[in-house]
Structure 1
Amino acid sequence: MWLNNILETIGNTPLIRLNKITKDIPATVLAKVDYFNPGNSIKDRMALKMVEVAEQQGKLKPGGTIIEGTSGNTGMGLALAACVKGYKCIFVTTDKQSKEKADILKAVGAEVIVCPTNVLPEDPRSYYSVAKRLGQEIPNSMYMNQYDNLANRQAHYESTGPEIWEQTEGRITHLVSTAGTGGTITGTAMYLKEKNPNIKVWAIDVYGSLLTKYYNTGEIDMNEVHPYISEGFGEDFVPENYDMSVIDHFEQVTDKDGAVMARRIAKEEGMFCGYSAGSCLQGLMQLKNTLTADDVVVCIFHDHGSRYVGKIYNDQWMMERGFLDVKTFRDIVNGRAGKKLVTITPDHTVAEAVELMKQYDIEQIPVMKENELVGSVSEGGLFQKIFSNPEIKNSTVASVIEHPYPVVDFMTKVEKLGNLINKENGAVLAKDEKGDYHIVTKYDVIQSLAK
């Protein structure tokens, strides 16, 4: 039996048990993995519902233009609906979102406008304001406004909530989800609490968002708002989709913890998820001591890791922000207090090479000619040659030269360096930003890993 179009594949996503990361939690922890939707995110559900409701209300007419402020996932869902139903799309996003998200939206035919992140929502440059203005200026268009459009939470009341209830056979005790527009957590919670009012709903927020303080105090405190790196959740205002009465607790996580956890989910559970999934599970881990063996916890994994390959799944990006404690060739060099590389030329004698090894207490020396790496000499290699022929110490290094050391990138991880250093290669070299060579030996690697 075939499907009539791609929109019919939305929903009915799997519920998958987590096993390794949550092994110390007594409860059963399940992930609602919504990257199985055709647009690779849970936003497909509400995007289609918003379009359907707009059509029913006569606000979206044939040949019209869909306009939305989106970090990417809602845009993808709307774009899929537009492809099938024949609408145009203009999406407005922020400059903190990953480039991959914008590129994907363009690939499905949308126009993408990028706005600054660090401005207030009411600022005419904000992506909220720009999207709203375009909706007023462009004929036969509709600004979907996922934040205040209650079709957002309706989608989850009608699909996500019932699916989770059925998949857990009504055994769910806790729902955990990041909090952004409010649609997913509110709509899902509304349905589940109708089924069982005792189900606990935990909203996961990010530091820099005002939602947590608003939940706790009812106060919109703009002093809580500051730039954050996490994508897809957290807000600097309170969308109308929220019904705080169905939420039992707000928990904040850091940008770093959410990013690191997302990478753990990929490596340890085999689920290539986005930033919000990492933050969702990190929030749960911060609350794990309140769980019992009788609890069944469902975490919402909103989207796919392909949206973040240039960010949280990029080692360089993670290291630049201090999110990844990865030791590299550069770290080893920086930890040696500026010691310069000791080299020798092919014209020097073997005796001079031995003297350098004694003087600097080293076992490996690169052989350089006109600032080019041409080979190496090692204590082990020289020992064997001098032992068999003591007179060789008066010969030139060229007569005993060994093959050059491998040259790697300056940011190569220590673990990879360990694989390159062996009996044949006693060290590795790399050039720094200035073009100067540096050396790392097996002892350097051992010391770095022991710290």
Structure 2
Amino acid sequence: MTLHESLLDAVGDTPLVRLTRIASGVPAPVYAKVEFFNPAGSVKDRAALGMVLAAEKSGALAPGGVIVEGTSGNTGMALAMIAAQRGYRSIVVVPDRTSPEKIKTLKAYGAEVVVTTGALPREHPEHVRNVAARLAARTPGAWYANQYDNPANPEAHRTTTGPEIWAATGGRITHFVVGVGTGGTVTGTGGFLKEASGGQVRVIGADPLTSTYSGGDGSPYYVESIGHYLHPQTAEDEYPESYDQSVVDRFERIGDRESITMVRRLAREEGILAGGSAGTAVAAALRVAATLTPDDLVVVLLPDSGRGYLSKYFDDDWLRRFGFLEDLPGTPTVADALGDRPAPLTALPSTATVADALTAAGALVPVRLPRSGDNATTDVSEVIGAVRPDALRALVARDPSASAAPLHDHLLPSPPAVGIGEPVDEAAARLATGTGTAWVLIDGRVSGTVTHDALRRTTGHVPPARAAGPASRAT
């Protein structure tokens, strides 16, 4: 048994575990670097420790000081753990989409937690990073960790994670698959592996489908701590300085549903309870391994534990409310009230005019934040209201000049949302009594509408057996 002088000595040296069941059908062996074995439960323990040690060495963090950081949770937990062990205060700023489990963990370590709105332009004063920088500037003795631009972030992985993988595989690794968030893990680990192998190791980034890293439009996604979200009103998008794009050879783009399905499979087929971004990475790793040979060796990094997401990816009710689960045998669901999967709704950008809405299909049409392109569906968090095309056509018939008016001036409040696989009685309870209308969500995106009357008529009706929807595999 190894003796440690402090808990911080236990950071790193995490195991590589072969995925024997999930990866049984692919030619190349797939090994998972299981980072939730770190003391605070994630790969961020490495970067946090490296940043703190570098700050102490430079004098930026003095004894009795205050550690401040903006984070989706994991880096904050690691910094809060280190602060507790080394006698610092910690202030952690998190977006409001952070899971309740992470916030409670931060408080358990003694951190002061500041929750701010997550979906804001980079320049907004209440953006997570701006709030953290402001708090650090006005707090005596504070040091702003700034993992996004701190060179000690990738350096921690260059000196620990990369060498561990190289040594554990005896230099046999041929492909490294990892999600890209701040970019520190892929830059440091991938950079080391490329150098150690003379450029032979291929580095594959696992990325949410809409993340800008891999060419997406930057719209929201449901997997935390990975990818690059871009608010449509951000004036100038900047990637973190911790991220060296040249290290990534290519990306595998993974949708939310595939990520969530995979992370649930990891728990139930491999006994590995990991976070949502691990599902993204494993799904990408299986795609990669399917194209290789038994002589290759794939390592995929699992950043954190699923214990921080029990109220999300492992909660069937949460998944049904957002339309990720669609099969409840013997129970009437929103899908039964619709009779079929809804025809995709085309959302109108808030920058449109009344004229743009006159030919829109549907009794109620969502209006979203403006983005490049015109997706058939749009994330519910970016729907800012709704319009009724019939009412607008009647308005223009009375006053033709109204067609040039901004659509934003005619917005109705956005109605509630229900998941396509949600039980109808639960869905109906969230609508106003009478003839209210709700958005229908599939994978968190507005994909149709349903009325309160349709839900009420379906309540108590036992639907006939039907083929399971694609998300039922996540159960």
TM-score (norm 2): 0.69
CA shift at 1:135, angstroms? 1.4
Match of 1:50 in 2: 51
* Deviations, residues 397-448 of structure 1 (Å, cap 9, x unaligned): xxxxxxxxxxx9978xxxxxxxxxxxxxxxxxxxxx98x98375xxx77x34
Q: Within 5 Å, give how 1:73-88 maps onto structure 2.
A: 73-88=74-89
Whichever residue aligns with residue 74 of structure 2, its letter is: N
2:206 is the alignment partner of 1:226: no
Deviation at 1:260, TM superposition (A): 1.3
| Cα deviation, residue 20, structure 1 | 1.3
Please give the secondary structure, in 1, of the residue aligned with 2:207. Answer: strand
- Deviation per CA, 1:322-361: give whole Å up to 9, x if none: 21233244337974999xxxxxxxxxxxxxxxxxxxxxxx
Question: What is the root-mean-square deviation of aligned Cα atoms in Å?
Answer: 2.5
SS in 2 for 1:267: helix
Cross-structure match for 1:376: none
* Alignment partner of 1:438 out of 443, 453, 460: 460
Equivalent residue letter for 1:438: G
Does the 8 A contact of 2:326 with 2:468 survive in 1? no
2: CA distance, partners of 1:53 / 1:245 = 25
Question: Helix, strand or coil for the counterpart of 2:332?
Answer: helix
201, 209, 212: which one aligns with 1:210: 212
Tell me if structure 2 keeps the 8 A contact 1:154–1:187: yes
Q: Structure 2 counterpart of 1:93, which letter?
A: V
Q: Kindly tell me: are residues 122 and 336 of structure 1, through their superposed partners in 2, closer, same or farther at Cα, counting changes over 3 Å?
A: closer
8 Å CA contact 1:261, 1:282 repeated in 2: yes
Q: Give the distance between the partners of 1:439 and 1:239, measured in 2 at CA.
A: 53
Residues 335 and 299 of structure 1, relative CA distance in 2, 3 Å threshold = same
CA contact (8 A) 2:27 2:290 kept: no
Question: What secondary structure sits across from 1:287 in the alignment?
Answer: helix
Contact in 1 for aligned 2:258/2:283 (Cα 8 Å): yes
Choose from 199, 202, 222 the match for 1:200.
202
| One-letter code aligned to 2:185 | T
Whether the aligned pair in 2 keeps the contact of 1:332 and 1:448 (CA below 8 Å) is: no
Give the structure 2 partner of residue 270 of structure 1. Answer: 271
Distance in 1 of aligned mates of 2:16 and 2:153: 21
1:24 aligns to what SS in structure 2? coil
Aligned-partner Cα distance in 1 for 2:222–2:119: 11
1:43-82 Cα shifts (integer Å, max 9, x gaps):
0011011000000000000111000011111111111111
| Structure of greater Rg | 1
Question: C-alpha distance in 2, partners of 1:107/1:259?
Answer: 27
Worse-superposed segment, 152-161 or 288-297:
288-297
Of 319-328 and 309-318, the range deviating more from structure 2: 319-328
8 Å contact 1:311–1:318 — kept in the other structure?
yes
1:336-351 aligned within 5 A: none
Count of residue correspondences:
349
In structure 2, the residue corresponding to 1:438 is in which secondary structure?
coil
| SS of match in other structure, 1:96 | coil
Deviation at 1:450, TM superposition (A): 8.5
Q: Distance in 2 between matches of 1:115 and 1:333?
A: 33
- Relative to 1, partners in 2 of residues 1:331 and 1:238: Cα closer, same or farther, differing over 3 Å? same
| Identity rate, percent | 43
Cα separation, 2, equivalents of 1:437 and 1:296: 52
1:291 pairs with 2:292: yes
Distance in 2, Cα, partners of 1:192 & 1:306: 30
Residue of structure 2 in register with 1:100 after alignment? 101
Q: How does 1:86-235 map to 2 (within 5 A)?
A: 86-196=87-197, 197-213=199-215, 224-235=217-228
TM-score by length of 1: 0.73
What's the counterpart of residue 377 of structure 1? none
Give 1:90 deviation, angstroms: 0.4
CA distance in 1, matches of 2:88, 2:184: 24
Per-residue deviation, 1:285: 3.0
- Say which is worse superposed, 83-92 or 238-247, in terms of deviation: 238-247
5+ residue gaps, structure 2: 231-237, 340-422, 427-454, 470-475
Contact 1:157–1:190 (Cα < 8 Å) also in 2: yes
Larger helix proportion, structure 1 or 2?
1
- CA pair 15-119 structure 1, distance change in 2 beyond 3 A: same
Distance, in Å, in 2 between the alignment partners of 1:131 and 1:273 is 28
**Counterparts of 1:279 and 1:448, CA distance in 2:** 29
Distance in 1 between residues matched to 2:208 and 2:125, nearest whole Å: 25
* Matched residue SS, 1:38: coil
Query: Equivalent residue for 1:69?
Result: 70
Query: Where do 1:414-433 residues align within 5 Å?
Result: none
CA distance in 1, matches of 2:226, 2:337: 42
Distance (Å, rounded) in 2 between the aligned partners of 1:438 and 1:288? 47
Measured in 2, the distance between the counterparts of 1:5 and 1:195 equals 31
Separation in 2, partners of 1:252, 1:333: 29
CA–CA distance in structure 2, aligned partners of residues 279 and 450 of structure 1: 23
CA spacing shift, 1:437–1:5, aligned 2, 3 Å? same
Whether the 8 Å contact between 2:332 and 2:460 is mirrored in structure 1 is no
Q: 1:268 to 1:450 in 2, by over 3 A?
A: closer
Relative to structure 1, the CA distance from residue 73 to residue 410 in structure 2 (aligned partners, 3 Å threshold; closer, same or farther) is same
Q: Which residue of 2 aligns with 1:280?
A: 281
Q: For 1:188 and 1:4, how far apart are their aligned partners in 2?
A: 27
Note if contact 1:91-1:131 (Cα within 8 Å) is conserved in structure 2.
Answer: yes
The AA in structure 2 aligned to 1:204 is A
Letter in 2 for 1:65: V
Residues 29-38 or 250-259, more deviating: 250-259
CA distance in 2 between counterparts of 1:247 and 1:83 reads 35
The CA distance in 2 between the partners of 1:20 and 1:267, in whole Å, is 10
The 1:336–1:57 alpha-carbon spacing in structure 2 relative to 1, beyond 3 Å, is: closer
- Indicate conservation of the 8 Å contact 1:329/1:410, yes or no: no
